[in-house]
Structure 1
Amino acid sequence: MSLRIRDLGYAPGVLPTGPSNSILDVPGVHISQVTVPTTSGSTARKGLTIISPRPPKDYYKPCHASSFCFNGNGELTGARQMNDWGYTNIPIAFTNSLSLGVVIDGMWDWVMDMQDDMGWGGITRARHYGTPVVGETADWLINSEVRATRLGRDDVKKCFEGLESRDDSAVVHEGQVGGGAGMTCHMFTDGTGTSSRTISSGEDSKDAYTIAALCQSNYGVLSDLVVGGVPIGRLLKKEQEARGKAANDEGSADVHGPAEVAGRTKDGSILILIITDAPLATHQLNRAARHATVGLARVGSYSAGRNFSGDIFIALSTSEHGPEQLENISFGSAASRPTQTYQTEVVKNECMDAYFCATAGVVEEAIMNSMVVGGGDNGTVAMDGTKIDGFPLERVRDLLVQYMVKI
């Protein structure tokens, strides 16, 4: 079993985790990840992660949702519809930059196949419209032959076919896996990470709500890395310099590439998906999405939200959401249609601090897990020959002990 950040002695936040400490702790959530070689004979990889907030057969049932863009040099398709309508009714996919288009096409294929199986006609398809939600980060430091990073249609189809939940014994694979394949974080190999927290639903109830995050980390420089409040990146950089490695202001040359490398190759991006089964309203989900920035800053400090970075966050709730389609109407003038409503519970405003704390905690831990699971080995060699180190697990563990981070 792969080590995670808690195995190094640091447990972010104060709330308890769910059983698997992953996004699959939220009931009904399904995930699939596909990872393939970027080119034949190369150790570099590319991939795709698909998350269905509801069981695939119920994919079209809305989930209240919102998104937040901390820095916008990246893309999340479907965000405008999500923010205007206040919900999403389609799976969410994370991949690399050049695969954005083929994943959108593949999602449309899957959606139409599902609608065919349900016997939907044209009007029903139109009334359940959902823009594909696909986010991207640029894997160009490892996958420097950029044209080779595009996935194939069969890769996307395979990923949709693999959607499974916790009840199916599914697990979230972290590190250089799925959409996170080929990514780096603070210039270490990383990629996909996840974490979860539970929040009490009341003194008279044994039940608890779950809030979880899945991130695709691909940002940051060594000198900005912080773990548990300890400036680990600066300490590692100082040690590298003491060993005589050639170093520049952003980190060591053998790990980070030449000093002139910049833009999306170095400053990267991060995608964060937050899912809860708590009945948060759209404006509350927007607030939660914004608070993902707190967790990101806990790890990335000054690397968060750089000019060339796409820091884009989604928050959604899988709680009950009635159908958005009107019932028993004839299609005449839109202005003359009757007003219909659905009932929904909403978390009280004074409860929101718990969700803000949980969001910051799961995001911080998910990012750390993406690096820890992606580390501990010899790292990888980029397609242009640049050596990308794995996260130095034992040295970080020692530094956390030295600086008394044991929680």
Structure 2
Amino acid sequence: MSTTASSRLTIRDLGYTPGLLPAGSTNSIIDIPGVHISQVTVQTAADLKQGSTATKGVTVISPRPPKDFYKPCHAGTFTFNGNGELTASRQIEDWGFTNTPIAFTNSLSLGTVFDGVWDWVLDEQEKLGWDELTGARHYGTPCVGETADWIVNSNVRSSRLDKSDVKRAFEGLKSQEEGAFVQEGHAGGGAGMTCHMFSGGTGTASRLVSSGEEGDREYTLGVLCQSNYGALSQLVIGGVPVGRLLEKEKDGKAPDTAPEASKHDDHTPAQQKDHGGRTKDGSILVLIITDAPLAPHQLKRLARHATAGLATVGSSGVGRTFSGDIFLALSTAEHGPEQLGDFKRGRAKPTETYTTEVVKNESIDSYFVACHEATEEAILNSLVGGRDGTVAMDGTKVDGLPVDKVKDLLERYLVKV
């Protein structure tokens, strides 16, 4: 896990750059102006087995500066397979926008984080001096997503966060200009997650979109994923079947060539064990944010295209029965308040409108490409970010991606054009 922006290692450092579009300045979701992020990662329990490094956490993303939290962002969702949860998805389906921060965490912390978002929203409304009616007119359902960390955090009850952890996450919200950076791998909500049988979790990437014409406005699209899925055999990087090549190399070793210590410790990646349900098929959350003025129906289409990036990497691209593959797309382009200026109590309301730019339908393909490329790269960066591995609560070692081996495989087999 990278602890500073300068120590970040990504899939690009291993020799593979997904796609053709350029990345933003930090190649992360905070390249979108106004986006703030905070990640809190804590030890799973005070009484972990000796040697265990199991963690849990929460990632909070504010699409706008926190002081503007109540300003709506057009939004759309797509559920590739639904064995998981993203709260507020029904509101987004009906209203076409969200107006709360977004939070990702583990399954048992969903309720705690949901409460924590409400607490923060109510506190912010009090700071603004709003009365109850004004507050109620600006309420939106908190948007919280989860993936199941039950392989690493096998004592499931211990994986629940405290409300103080969520409060600390909100207190730490920062933008790129304020020194924020995205910690990848086992960090924030991605703590405790696995990806293709390696330590996985949080990953991010971004893309710039423009026509290339002089004077044309450039927009940014960023992705943050929380990966927690996949079989090793189905890991593909740049078209190279890296997972199968790693399995082949592992199978080719004679049993008596292993170091003495490994004969006593179980170093089998946790997902190779006989787990069922979500611990076997896993889940992934993908958050897509752009400053391009996309309408809600366009954002639903955009969210769908995260599936292409997922499929490019590997196995969860089939949307397995027990997986939760849920994608959310937002636009931070201003479109004005949803509240009436001439508000009166009662059922009869005046008709008021707002005027906003919307990307033309024939312009949207570039955003589909950007979503595909950034999603693929974010997933791969979650794997690279988790390269140090982790030790589960029960003492099982979950290996990190062997970056040196992967780099060598890509040098040998990646087709360079």
TM-score higher than 0.5: yes
Q: Which residue is equivalent to 1:62?
A: 72
Alignment of 1:9 onto 2:19 = no
Distance 2:19 2:30 in 1: 19
Asked whether the equivalents of residues 32 and 160 of structure 1 are also in contact (C-alpha less than 8 Å), the reply is yes
The answer to whether 1:353 aligns with 2:365 is: yes
Summarize deviations over 1:60-93 as a string: whole Å, max 9, x none: 0000001110000000000000111000000000
Structure 1 residue 255: Cα displacement? 1.5
Q: How does 1:96-245 map to 2 (within 5 A)?
A: 96-200=106-210, 203-205=213-215, 207-244=217-254
Alignment partners' CA distance in 2, 1:202 and 1:153: 47
What is the Cα deviation at residue 207 of structure 1? Answer: 3.9
In 2 relative to 1, CA 29–397 (structure 1 residues): closer, same or farther, beyond 3 Å? same
Who is 1:267 aligned against? 281
Residues 308-363 of structure 1, C-alpha deviation per residue, up to 9 Å, x if partnerless?
A: 11000000000011101111232222xx3221100000111111110010000000
Specify whether residues 302 and 275 from structure 1 end up closer, same or farther in structure 2 by C-alpha distance, changes over 3 A only.
Answer: closer
The alignment partner of 2:71 has SS state of coil
* Change beyond 3 A, Cα 1:192–1:245: farther
Distance 1:201 1:323 in 2: 30
Contact residue 10 and residue 405 of structure 1 kept, 8 A: no
Match of 1:26 in 2: 32
Aligned counterpart, 2:263 = none
Query: Does structure 1 residue 337 correspond to structure 2 residue 343?
Result: no
- Structure-2 separation of matches of 1:245 and 1:67: 48
Paired amino acid for 1:17: A
1:318 aligns with 2:332: yes
Aligned to 1:249: none
Structure 1 pair 295–140 and aligned structure 2 pair: CA distance change class (3 A): same
My pick for the range that moved more, 203-212 or 65-74, is: 203-212
Give yes or no for contact 2:303–2:328 (8 Å, CA) kept in 1. Answer: yes
Letter in 1 for 2:244: R
Amino acid paired to 1:9: G
Distance 1:393 1:131, change over 3 A: same
TM-score, normalization by structure 2: 0.92
- Taking the aligned partners of 1:121 and 1:271, their CA distance within structure 2 comes to 36
Paired residues, number: 398
TM-score, normalization by structure 1: 0.95
For the residues of structure 2 that align with 1:45 and 1:238, how far apart are their CA atoms?
A: 31
Alpha-carbon separation, structure 1, partners of 2:15 and 2:318: 24
Give the drift of 1:202: 6.4
Q: Mark the runs of 5 or more structure 2 residues left unpaired by the alignment.
A: 1-6, 257-265
Q: Deviations over 1:77-128 (max 9, x none)?
A: 0000011100000000000000000001111110000000001111111111
Q: 2 CA distance for matches of 1:171 and 1:331?
A: 45
What's 2:408 paired with? 398
| 1:302 Cα deviation after fit | 5.4
Identity level (%): 65
2:4 — aligned with what?
none
Residue in structure 1 matched with residue 268 of structure 2 by the alignment: 254
Q: Which residue of 1 aligns with 2:261?
A: none
Q: Letter of the aligned partner of 1:149 in structure 2?
A: S
Q: SS of the residue aligned with 1:315? A: strand
Backbone CA RMSD of aligned residues: 1.6
Which amino acid in the other structure matches residue 219 of structure 1?
Y
Assess if the C-alpha contact under 8 Å between 1:224 and 1:303 holds in 2: no
User: Using the alignment, how far apart are the partners of 1:11 and 1:55 within structure 2?
Assistant: 31
Q: Secondary structure at 1:332's aligned position in 2?
A: coil
